[in-house]
A and B are shown apart, each in its own frame.
Chain A
């Protein structure tokens, strides 16, 4: 054993490619979880298939937006937050941190895989949703959906990051994530449908789910893009800045 082989820091490209390859393998092994994450969006799409139900949510574009938002919420808040909390508790991050890999590469690799999962969910929901709700997005709109998926995924990932930043134990993260998930879903469905009244309807519109849903609806119906969609975009950016800031500031690599 000599120091000859390890004389210098390893190339960043090799570090990143090693992390991404490993995280991609984990991603492939979790493909069942990805399919389960699609169940709720598909249920939303199918259950709102009638004209009246679609109208209650503001149209097919809004329903698709809501379904994508739920898919991204599920995979980010439940999937990402729980995986990070569990790996932190098991000491996986500590083991990675004693290597020369910069810490930002560890998180970047994980977030890249999460972004990939978000894109797959968004595309799948748009394809299924456009069939059920008789919408024909153009290739440009598909591209916009992908862009918004990245933004929307970042909203939910930043919330997940804030959660694992503020809560240490994996059990507590799981409990809070599920509670948050349920609250956001109920607020989204009941608020947007108007079942809770005008006040909750406007509250729901500016929640992370509401803002994301509005954005998706906006890019699926560009002719009707107006100031509320632009405001939703700004609100999403605001959520990302605030929650990511909290998540990065208070994140601990060690659960103890």
Chain B
């Protein structure tokens, strides 16, 4: 269990005057949730930095002594669901924390107080029908649109207060990526590497393009690449600076099955190397195949956040889901059951 950001803020205020958080937790917790059991882990956000504490000792007077959480060893890593490699470590501090994010376009509320967290080494899927608020959520995280309220903490950086620092830690693949049409592939790679502060030699660029199977296209302009090649290049550029978090907006839209599988494999490789990924998708197959956890968003509101397996288990007996299921309940049945069958524009 972790404290919400309101309590974190109270802690932050207190910690501004004390050298140790001892005795704080239960008082804040009691104040906020009288009678509730006290927490065992506390994440404290202070001046843009995040610290995680665990209860080291419980005193006779009921107060707690907190100690910084030790870094998890590889042996402590808990296996993820669906037999995927045990890279995601539940309990490890979130690489991305979105709290009460609200985005409105005039009177239309596109994202309504959405909160979620992505852990280190986790692939998190944001699912939703057209116009549900997926891209608006991503755009707010990326800093492309200014949210009305809420907070986005990326790797401990407040992205609203320090947008460029936050962007330096994220890699982005937009839904419709376009690079300057006059530039060749190598020139595009050099440009974006420079924008992320990475100096690449000609040989390094050639090696990188070879790794994604584009060595023969190095001197072509971007528009001459096929859809799959464009996506591969776009993903390569998104991770050229080894970001802490990769944001992918419908990365496999319009790709053939081969390209889609290849992209899944690349996404999985990025996760294996310790990267965290937030992706939006319309494909339930993709969500099930790639994501550790998924969140379903509709009409700007986050409906649920679970592992794909738990989502099905939790909702398989929901009458709305049973009504649309044909045989064994799938993730798509749950999705349609929760968001409705009507077509969205």
Contacts and interface: CB of A to CB of B under 8 A. Distances in A.
Chain B binds chain A: yes
Nearest to A87: B180
B180 A10 contact: no
A179 B164 CA distance: 39
Interface of B: 142-144, 155, 164-165, 167-170, 172, 174, 176-183, 187, 190-199, 239, 241-244, 246, 270, 273-275
B134 to A, nearest CB: 15
Which 3 pairs of residues, A with B, have the shortest CB-CB distance? Answer: A10-B197, A18-B194, A1-B275
A98 B155 CA distance: 16
A30 interface: yes
A14 B194 contact: yes
A88 to B, nearest CB: 10
Interface of A: 1-11, 14-15, 17-19, 21-22, 25-26, 29-30, 87, 90-92, 94-102, 253-254
B275 A8 contact: no
Nearest to B163: A100
Given A4-B242, A6-B169, A6-B244, A100 B180 contact: no
Most buried by B among A1, A19, A26: A1
B244 A19 contact: no
16 contacts: A1-B242, A2-B244, A3-B242, A3-B243, A6-B197, A6-B243, A7-B169, A10-B197, A17-B194, A25-B182, A26-B182, A90-B178, A97-B144, A100-B164, A100-B165, A100-B167
Contact of B246 (A1, A4, A8, A253): A1
Contacts of B241: 5-6
B194 A26 contact: no
Contacts of B183: 22, 25-26
Contacts of A2: 242, 244, 273-275
Most buried by B among A11, A26, A98: A98
Given A25-B182, A91-B177, A98 B143 contact: yes
Given A1-B239, A1-B243, A98-B172, A9 B178 contact: no
A98 B144 contact: yes
Given A26-B180, A98-B167, A6 B273 contact: no
Contacts of B194: 10, 14-15, 17-19, 21
